[in-house]
């Protein structure tokens, strides 16, 4: 007897070892569970955008804790009532299925448990007896390796729901337009039944079949006591979906950039606030709808204390032509929007004061003769007024004293990447302060956030939790210089209608317009937020008459209206009168002599900047375009789209034959190096 017992024990041990060895040698293939969609979520883990898997599926991971408990109860009551008790295979269900098949001559019920279905979903096989046996073996393996909720989570992530939709979360978003965390009984019943015949009962193909299948589930559950009869009857009255709903698609440019550096199936948590992101996206689309050309809008919202980006709109329409270009990262000319940082650096160095007087008059700095936007001059003004009015001559005078190299080093030290045209010069010159360089909207937002944070420069934060890693930042300017600059910018009059009704919060703001009206920008900061707005065309072509204050500033103030209220800051102490040594700033290298007769203000008379000119023909030949200028010294040289024409006597008008429709950039230069520019559009007559 002892030998018999010993032999039995050894046999059982050998069988167990064989089972363990087989399990280790042939583990379940979990690769399909790992091949899920890459998800980009907001700071509260709400979905912003999902990406299909390599095999083209919307396969969003889902856990039991992510879905409505009632849905789980209804699923188990309908599909696998003994799921919590059986070891992966339900002998009673298999026996019942076999008996029903023998009696009716066809398959009435499959007898598969949830675990067996998961085994089939992980390793799909053609339906056969061998496949069923393999599913049973795999189900036992899964039960030995995983907990019940882990197995159920695999089902919730892999079950088919029609088309390329897999998993209950993707299904709820695609068919119901909502997350599965809260479902009505009718919605839950639909999601229970769809995996049984996902193509036949697809709501977008046969909504009546979907409704009938849902109602069957409700009747069965009511009959089994899993759902009150009255509740089942009310759920049957719910309308069934009839079409597929697009997946969430928010912050697409940011999501695309984050996905490009992440492994497949990653879950990327951003700093975005989805509710605010949706509102800012709607604002951008609404404003773009007012354009009569292919213009676009980019908007950023940054929380100053952490530098976390709360909204990122890289363009108003991702599906439009060139819509995938992230215009928040594109380097474009900032126009005059860099001027506040120039003045802040000068304040910080101590040789400029907000009340220092600076001459705004016709002045040449070597071969550079800057002019104001309105072509006029204000005379002698304070640095405060010069910045508020965005006067060009004073800004160039300040940059000449500060030094272009010092200014560019300060921008780079703050983390901004600026580019300039190295084909024209080996080093940036004075025109950089008027927009003669390229910088991204994101870097400009970072700089304005530094001013709002008392001069501390830190990079923008896009990943949740990364603000702590960024540290405290580094000083761009001292707090006093930043405070003076903010106080000056708060004094800039708001655009209408905000000027009339009064701003809801004090905004320190500045606009910029690039050469040829290619870019219109506006930046604003409060104690809590910084907002950056860019308006223009992705291809960089001009938008005549669209400048920062008219095109971008209203969008800036509308964006601030979307933000939560915030307390007004304490009134800063005004700097008072400057010491005598800082009473006036005299440009060091400027030629401020009076202009001789005929030399005042080199300018292009025709065609005027921003004009649209129709092509003319005479005898089938294009009529040349007359080029006229006034002012300057000596002979004038015209440059058309970078190609110089021969120099000409002062009184001889030049002409140029356009090659066809398009934009022309015209530059005229005199013998002393002074220049004037214009951008015009040539069109065929309609």
Give the span between the Cα atoms of 174 and 247, in whole angstroms: 6
355 is a catalytic site residue = no
User: For the residues of 351-405, what is the DSSP string, one character each?
Assistant: S--TT-EEEESS-EETTB----TTS---EEEEHHHHHHTT-HHHHHHHHHHH-HH
DSSP 64: G
Q: Say how far apart CA 493 and CA 21 lie, in whole Å.
A: 79
Query: Looking at 36, 37, 79, 166, which residue is catalytic?
Result: 79
CA distance 74 to 185: 9
Neighbours of 655 (CB within 10 A): 13
- Give me 417's structure tokens: 């990447």
Packing angle of the helix pair 441-452, 339-349 (nearest 10 deg):
40
Residue 191 to residue 440: CA distance in whole angstroms:
46
Query: In DSSP terms, which residues pair with 636 in a beta bridge?
Result: 648
Tokens 């800004």, residue located: 395
From the candidates 336, 390, 514, 525, which is the catalytic residue? 336
Judged by DSSP in three states, 246 sits in coil
Report how far residue 499's alpha carbon sits from residue 588's, in angstroms, rounded to the nearest whole number.
Answer: 39
What b/e sequence results for 83-107 when a residue is b if at least 16 CB atoms lie within 10 Å of its CB, and e otherwise?
Answer: beebebbbeebbeebeeeeeeeeee
Do residues 548 and 521 make contact, with C-beta atoms less than 8 angstroms apart? yes
To the query of whether residue 333 is one of the catalytic residues in this protein, the response is: no
Q: Are strands 625-630 and 637-640 parallel, antiparallel or unpaired?
A: unpaired
464 within 8 A of 273, measured Cβ to Cβ: no
Distance CA 42, CA 24 (A): 40
CB distance 312 to 277 below 8 Å: yes
- Close Cβ partners of 317 (under 8 Å, ≥ 6 residues apart): 285, 288, 296, 323
- Determine the Cα–Cα distance for residues 236 and 312; give it in Å rounded to an integer: 42
Determine which helix (DSSP H) or strand (DSSP E) holds 315, and give its type and residue range: none
- What are the catalytic residues? 79, 336
């Amino acid at each position: 007897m002892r030998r018999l017992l010993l032999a039995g024990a050894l046999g059982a041990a050998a069988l167990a070892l064989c089972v363990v060895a087989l399990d280790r040698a042939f583990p379940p293939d979990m690769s399909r569970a790992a091949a899920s969609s890459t998800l980009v979520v907001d700071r509260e883990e709400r979905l912003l955008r999902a990406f299909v898997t390599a095999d083209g599926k919307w396969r969003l991971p889902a856990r039991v804790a992510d879905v409505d408990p009632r849905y789980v109860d209804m699923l188990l009551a309908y599909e696998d009532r003994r799921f919590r008790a059986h070891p992966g295979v339900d002998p009673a269900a298999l026996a019942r299925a076999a008996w029903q098949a023998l009696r009716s001559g066809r398959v009435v019920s499959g007898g598969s448990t949830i675990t067996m279905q998961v085994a089939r979903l992980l390793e799909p096989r053609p339906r056969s007896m061998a496949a069923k046996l393999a599913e049973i073996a795999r189900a036992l393996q899964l039960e030995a390796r995983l907990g019940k909720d882990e197995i159920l989570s695999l089902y919730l992530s892999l079950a088919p729901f029609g088309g390329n939709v897999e998993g209950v979360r993707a299904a709820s978003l695609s068919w119901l337009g909502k997350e599965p965390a809260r479902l009505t009984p009718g919605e839950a019943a639909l999601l229970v039944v769809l995996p049984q015949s996902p193509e036949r009962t697809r709501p977008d193909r046969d909504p009546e079949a979907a409704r009938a299948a849902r109602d069957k589930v409700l009747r069965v559950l009511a009959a089994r006591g899993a759902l009150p009869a009255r509740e089942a009857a009310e759920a049957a009255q719910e309308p069934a979906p009839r079409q597929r709903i697009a997946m969430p698609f928010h912050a697409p440019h940011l999501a695309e950039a984050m996905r490009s550096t992440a492994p497949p199936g990653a879950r990327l948590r951003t700093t975005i606030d989805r509710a605010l992101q949706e509102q800012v996206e709607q604002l951008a689309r609404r404003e773009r709808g007012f354009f009569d050309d292919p213009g676009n809008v980019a908007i950023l919202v940054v929380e100053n204390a952490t530098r976390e980006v709360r909204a990122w709109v890289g363009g108003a329409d991702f599906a439009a032509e060139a819509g995938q270009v992230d215009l928040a990262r594109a380097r474009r000319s900032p126009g005059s929007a860099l001027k506040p940082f120039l003045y802040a650096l000068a304040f910080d160095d101590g040789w400029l004061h907000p009340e220092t007087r600076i001459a705004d008059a016709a002045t040449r700095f070597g071969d550079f003769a800057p002019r104001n936007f309105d072509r006029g001059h204000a005379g002698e003004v304070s640095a405060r007024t010069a910045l508020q009015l965005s006067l060009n001559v004073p800004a160039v005078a300040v940059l000449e004293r500060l030094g272009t190299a010092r200014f560019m080093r300060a921008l780079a030290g703050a983390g901004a990447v600026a580019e300039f045209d190295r084909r024209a010069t080996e080093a940036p010159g004075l025109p950089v302060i008027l927009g003669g360089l390229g910088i991204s909207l994101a870097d400009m937002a970072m700089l304005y956030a530094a001013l709002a944070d008392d001069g501390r420069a830190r990079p923008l934060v896009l990943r949740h939790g990364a603000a702590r890693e960024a540290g405290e930042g580094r000083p761009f300017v001292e707090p006093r210089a930043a405070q003076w600059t903010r106080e000056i910018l708060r004094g800039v009059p708001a655009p209408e209608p905000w000027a009339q009704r009064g701003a809801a919060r004090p905004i320190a703001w500045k606009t910029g317009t690039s050469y040829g009206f290619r870019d219109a920008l506006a930046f604003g900061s409060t104690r809590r937020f910084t907002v950056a707005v860019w308006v223009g065309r992705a291809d960089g072509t001009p938008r005549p008459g669209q400048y920062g204050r008219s095109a971008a500033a209203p969008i800036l103030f509308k964006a601030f209206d979307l933000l939560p209220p915030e307390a007004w800051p304490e009134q800063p102490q005004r700097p008072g009168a400057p010491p005598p040594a800082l009473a006036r700033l005299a440009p060091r290298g400027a030629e401020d002599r009076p202009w001789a007769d005929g030399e005042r203000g080199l300018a292009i008379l025709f065609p005027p900047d921003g004009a649209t000119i129709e092509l003319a023909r005479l005898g089938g030949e294009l009529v040349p375009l007359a080029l006229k200028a006034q002012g300057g010294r000596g002979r004038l040289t015209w440059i058309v789209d970078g190609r110089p024409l021969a120099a000409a006597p002062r009184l001889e008008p030049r002409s140029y034959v356009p090659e066809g429709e398009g934009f022309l950039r015209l530059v005229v230069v005199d013998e002393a190096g002074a220049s004037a520019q214009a951008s015009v559009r040539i069109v065929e007559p309609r």
